[in-house]
Amino acid sequence: MVSPLILSLRKQKNFYGSKVKILSPAKINLYLNITGKYANGYHRIESIVERVSLCDTIDIEVTKSLKIAVSSNLKSLVTNDNLCVSVAKLINKKCNLAYGYDIFLDKKIPVGAGLGGGSSNAASMLIALNELLNLKLSLEELYKLGSKLGSDVNFFLAQRRFAVISGRGQYVKPFDAKTYNHFIVWPNLTLSTKKVYEKSRVKLTKFLCNVKMLKYALKKGDLTLIKKNIFNALDKSACNVCGKVRKLKNHLNDKNIFARVTGSGSAMYTIFDNDSLQTIDRGLNKSCSIFEVNTF
């Protein structure tokens, strides 16, 4: 079955000239706790993640040249370090292929905002190439590749709306829940994930685990209980690292709008029932970008 993320697909007999266009959605963290630290310095986490309807799109064409070329509407992403290029190289090596690729990334998800854009791009590339080239890689095989590429890649490979992720993010347990509406508010700046984690100073025994309660609330659609159990161990750290993030959170809280940092920031999200775009936008003076999204 072709992935519902794939918008268009055209295969050629020898694959040269084959094309695919695929969506690459964002995520928000409804729960994120640090549960330990690996010997290599990476943090062990437990998180509830929701996929949302803010999406990049990726166009891929197979070429006879061995060159892997990426272009984008965002010039800073036109680099060999782009995860889309890394995936193409990884697939060629894994499957002993000798294809080139022309890749165009239409970037809508803010970079360095805690929305998982890079990991999502990597996952969508894997899904797209697996289908386009008839590779027949299983989900477990894709997970192994995803674990090499980034912390949130396997969540996006699961192609599910909600999941509990753990370890570095490589372990994924999807679950079903209601759908929700959100505003994502991004203060038009990038935060360093490494710096936010370094500044977190989280005491590992400090927080109770409310994963089960939050999963229950999400399944029932209980907004009061959801808001009570939403948690991000990096929220304070992100606000401490960047005064603009703290100012944004205070601005929203002063308007009695429930807002939390997603991932390591810098974006924040709301879960709204009575919130309105006009209420959120008032006083921001174009210093922020606002996206209205839903569970996707």
Q: Enumerate the active-site residues.
A: 27, 152
Q: Are 289 and 218 in contact (CB under 8 A)?
A: no
Residue with tokens 């970079």, as numbered in its chain:
111
Compute the half-sphere exposure of residue 264: CA atoms within 13 Å on the CB side of its CA: 21
Give the C-alpha separation, 187 to 242, whole Å: 10
> Checking phi first, is residue 270 left (phi over 0); if not, alpha (psi -120 to 50) or beta?
beta
Give the C-alpha separation, 126 to 202, whole Å: 34
Instruction: Spell out a b/e string for 276-286, using b for 16 or more CB atoms within 10 Å of the CB, else e.
Output: eeebbeeeeee
Phi, psi of 142 (to 5 degrees): -65, -40
Q: Which amino acid belongs to residue 143?
A: Y
199: exposed, middle or buried (C-beta count within 10 Å: 0-12, 13-18, 19+)?
middle
Give the C-alpha separation, 187 to 201, whole Å: 24
Strands 43-63 and 19-37: antiparallel
